[in-house]
């Protein structure tokens, strides 16, 4: 039940994000006098619609997209009169372009000639087309800021998260740099000393502890020496003596990869207690929120840039035995599935319970909005960035003509880019189908 509730929250969040994205286009379009005939959320058959003024507002059956229909999105072919339809040419691409022009102009009625999109100034075109992505950015900013400033984010703290059961005696290898327990291995020092999960480490050998790095440094450098720890357990301070084991362990580089030489891991002697760090919520000052969100935008952009090369791994995982990359792309189906897994987590009330799950769902929807913001800025039709690129080029051409005292070059014919748009649409559809299939047959599992 909780799983389906999580999926529902994500679906509603996606639908609302799409609806607000389209409002980002709708409001400036109407403000600048463009005639908008439809505002639709979703694709497929219309479930509900109502006409207010000259615009039909509605919801369609598949909530995976949306659109705002503005008249005159594409200019007529040079030499054609606005509002008139021309006989189609015989070339395949020419036919598609001409049909697109005709569809763009078919709703232009007498009196609407100056209410078409293509006659707007380049600046107004850019404002309209950036309205959608900017709305997604604002949604992501508001949601992330709300979570990190009002609730907080889990950060590593000087407290016990989990306890290892044993001291692994198996030698590390390149393939297995961190060996696991096997029957007969001795009990881990932390477990043997009586440490418990959620104990907060106050001091080690009389030195106050405020970070987890201090704990790991003390354990690593102990060289088997008995250490005196003071931990906070509930409302009491408990003193515990721990004698870390001394093990030969794999070393790691700055990227977190095991260091190897001649096919063998480079080992170093270090102390081992058998604990992993716990986490606690830390609120971020609101003044730091813009920088935090911008860092997430940059991270999202770096992921989107790598999507084409990562699709090979998705294909191999979907149709072979390869595992899914947890940092790879996923579809809306995958996002919904992760939302369900988050909602189904069993988190104790004293660790946040349902509030933790709600915060994670909100951050999931926020991340999706940041992805929509970045993806829609790609300067290719049919994405918003393609129209923005056309408007920028138009502004450059007009500005250059004015500087040289030449006639106005007219509107940039973005229709010439439609063959690329059709190819891009085919690629996007193919990728979406592959991702949806992979998310069904071999989903990414972030929990358990």
The pLDDT value recorded for residue 264 is 73
Active site residues: 22
Which pTM value belongs to this model? 0.78
The SS3 assignment for 382 reads: coil
Q: Which residues in the chain land under pLDDT 50?
A: 83-95
Structure tokens at 138: 């604002």
> DSSP letter at 288?
G
CA–CA dist 345, 447 (Å, integer):
8
State the pLDDT at residue 431. Answer: 84
Q: 369-399 as b/e, with b when 16 or more CB fall inside 10 Å?
A: bbbbbbbbbeeebbbbbbbbbbbbebbebbe
Q: Are 142 and 230 in contact (CB under 8 A)?
A: no
Q: What is the pLDDT, as a whole number, of residue 350?
A: 62
CA dihedral angle for residue 246, residue 247, residue 248, residue 251, rounded to 10 degrees: -90
Cα separation, 333 vs 434, whole angstroms: 11
- Cβ contact 80:118 at 8 Å: no
Structure tokens that stand for 346 in this block: 């069993």
State residue 242's pLDDT score. Answer: 92
Asked: is 154-282 a CATH 2.30.42.10 domain? The reply is yes
The residue behind tokens 């047959």 is: 441
Q: Would you give the end-to-end CA distance of the chain in angstroms?
A: 18
List the domain boundaries for the chain. 1-35+123-152+285-448, 154-282
SS3 95: helix
β pairing state of 260-261 and 264-265? antiparallel
CA dihedral 104, 106, 107, 111 (to 10 degrees): 110
pLDDT for res 105: 62
């Amino acid at each position: 039940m909780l799983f389906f509730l999580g999926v529902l929250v994500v679906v509603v969040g996606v639908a609302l994000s799409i609806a607000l994205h389209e409002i980002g286009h709708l409001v400036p379009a109407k403000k600048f006098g463009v005639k908008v005939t439809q505002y639709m959320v979703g694709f497929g058959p219309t479930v509900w619609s109502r006409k207010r003024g000259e615009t039909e507002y509605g919801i369609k059956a598949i909530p995976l997209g949306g659109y705002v229909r503005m008249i005159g999105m594409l200019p007529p072919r040079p030499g054609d009169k606005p509002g008139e339809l021309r006989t189609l040419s015989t070339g395949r691409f020419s036919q598609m372009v001409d049909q697109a022009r005709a569809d763009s102009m078919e709703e232009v009625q007498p009196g609407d000639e100056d209410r078409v999109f293509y006659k707007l100034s380049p600046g107004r075109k850019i404002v309209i087309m950036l309205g959608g992505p900017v709305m997604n950015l604002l949604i992501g900013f508001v949601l992330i800021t709300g979570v990190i400033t009002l609730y907080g984010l889990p950060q590593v703290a000087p407290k016990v998260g989990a306890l290892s059961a044993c001291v692994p005696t198996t030698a590390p290898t390149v393939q297995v740099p961190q060996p696991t327990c096997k029957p007969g291995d001795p009990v881990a020092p932390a477990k043997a000393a009586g440490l418990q999960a959620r104990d907060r480490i106050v001091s080690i050998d009389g030195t106050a502890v405020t970070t987890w790095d201090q704990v790991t440094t003390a354990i690593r450098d102990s060289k088997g020496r008995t250490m005196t720890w003071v931990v906070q357990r509930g409302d009491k301070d408990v003193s515990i003596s721990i004698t870390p084991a001394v093990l030969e362990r794999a070393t790691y580089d700055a990227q977190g990869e095991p260091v190897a030489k001649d096919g063998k891991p480079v080992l170093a002697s270090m102390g081992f207690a058998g604990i992993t760090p716990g986490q606690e919520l830390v609120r971020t000052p609101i003044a730091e929120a813009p920088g935090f969100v911008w860092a997430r935008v940059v991270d999202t952009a770096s992921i989107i840039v790598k999507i084409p090369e990562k699709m090979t791994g998705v294909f191999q995982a979907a149709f072979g035995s390869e595992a899914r990359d947890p940092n790879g792309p996923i579809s809306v189906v995958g996002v919904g599935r992760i939302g369900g897994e988050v909602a189904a987590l069993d988190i104790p009330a004293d660790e946040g319970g349902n509030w933790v799950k709600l915060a994670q769902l909100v951050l999931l929807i926020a991340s999706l909005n940041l992805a929509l913001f970045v993806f829609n800025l790609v300067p290719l039709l049919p994405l918003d960035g393609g129209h923005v690129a056309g408007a920028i080029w138009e502004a450059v051409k007009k500005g250059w003509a004015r500087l040289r005292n030449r006639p106005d070059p007219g509107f940039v014919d973005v229709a010439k880019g439609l063959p690329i748009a059709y190819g891009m649409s085919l690629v996007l559809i193919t990728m979406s189908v592959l991702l949806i299939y992979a998310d069904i047959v071999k989903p990414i599992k972030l929990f358990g």
